[in-house]
Amino acid sequence: MDSTIQKALKKAKRKHWVIITLISVVVCLILLFAFNRLGNYLSAQNTTRLHDSLFLQHAISQPNVNIDSQVTANSSMFGGNIITNRSKNINGYLVPWSTLTSSYSWFGASIDYNELVAGFHSSGNNNFEYDKQTKQKVATFYHPAIKEYYEGVQNQLEAVVQLENQVAEVAISFKEPLTMEQVRENIPENLNIAWLYMTSAIANEALGPAGVPVYGYADSELSKESFDRFIENLKKYDTRKSIEEIQKYIRENENKMLNDVTVLGVMLTGRTENFNELIGKDFIRGASVGVTVPIVPYIQPIK
């Protein structure tokens, strides 16, 4: 009798452990499945958010820089990277610009700001900002309210027109803000308006580049639709309303008529000889050359 009871107890115990093991396996599988789904969901959400942030960043703060492609790389349930391939359009000539490698994970996303911010080269009398990967010179805008810049306010128009058979981009900064109508009147038709410089923070630039972003947008037609889109993009970019310069600009400009909106400068592209028309113009405070490209017989400049 005792032996029979012991066997029954052992059998019941084995059955109990088998049931517990099966339940544990099922629970683990369910948890793993839920963990995988949650991880993929969070990664997908942050991937989408990062894609949108990168496009928005370029829409408002990357003068004459275009996104050619943007792809996800090294993707897993835990995160990955987004590779942004970029270029500049210099009057119909495409030149490579630095590639961004931004990252995302369950906990958020991070734009590759290291490559977005230009490097600074200082050697002898040469002081200029440059793209860290391509080593191309970056054109500098000068805010009319900032009186002193480390390298001084440059006017490189006479230098750029000496280049023969080339196209160039030049950042033109105004002495005083010009209205949209004044921009139309003062910019020669044989030059392309590649980007409008609308605002930036007033910082101390006397000791070297402060790395302050400039805000503006691409619009060769100077249209009301493009300006309204720029205002909406600024709102999306600073949803927390934490960037003082952006919030101030929105307050002062979102309800203005287009012809009352003022511009601080323009990025122009064109044949080097066409910049000759701007030499000596009294509305120009500074002119900083960016990328220059030799003209070849098989690519026709836009203008």
The per-residue pLDDT for 74 is: 84
DSSP code, position 212: P
Give pLDDT tens digits for 289-303: 999 999 999 999 999
Residue 172 placed within a domain: yes
Residue 219 placed within a domain: yes
Number of domains in the chain: 1
- Band of pLDDT at residue 8, cut at 50, 70 and 90: low
Using CA atoms, how far apart are residues 77 and 31, in angstroms rounded to an integer?
15
User: CA quadruple 138, 139, 144, 148: dihedral positive or negative?
Assistant: positive
Residue 267 placed within a domain: yes
Residue 20 placed within a domain: no
Residue 53 placed within a domain: no
* Helix, strand or coil, per DSSP, at residue 198: strand
Q: Which residue has the tokens 């009147």?
A: 185
The per-residue pLDDT for 111 is: 94
The tokens for 207 are 């000791």
Q: Smallest Cα–Cα separation from 41: which of 104, 103, 131, 91? A: 104
Kindly tell me the burial class for residue 14, based on how many C-beta atoms sit within 10 Å of its own C-beta (0-12, 13-18, 19 or more).
Answer: exposed
- The answer on pLDDT for 275 being more than 90 is yes
Q: Which residue has the tokens 């511009």?
A: 263
Residues in the chain: 303
Give pLDDT tens digits for 236-260: 999 999 999 999 999 999 999 999 9
Give pLDDT tens digits for 50-77: 999 999 999 999 999 999 999 998 877 7
Using CA atoms, how far apart are residues 126 and 211, in angstroms rounded to an integer?
18
Using CA atoms, how far apart are residues 213 and 60, in angstroms rounded to an integer?
10
The per-residue pLDDT for 6 is: 65
> Which residue type occupies 103?
S
Mean of all residue pLDDT scores within the chain:
91
Axis crossing angle, helix 224-237 with helix 2-61, rounded to the nearest 10? 140
Structural domain span for residue 194: 131-294
Using CA atoms, how far apart are residues 279 and 156, in angstroms rounded to an integer?
9
What predicted TM-score, i.e. pTM, was given to this entire model?
A: 0.88
Residues in CB range of 107: below 8 A, 6 or more apart: none
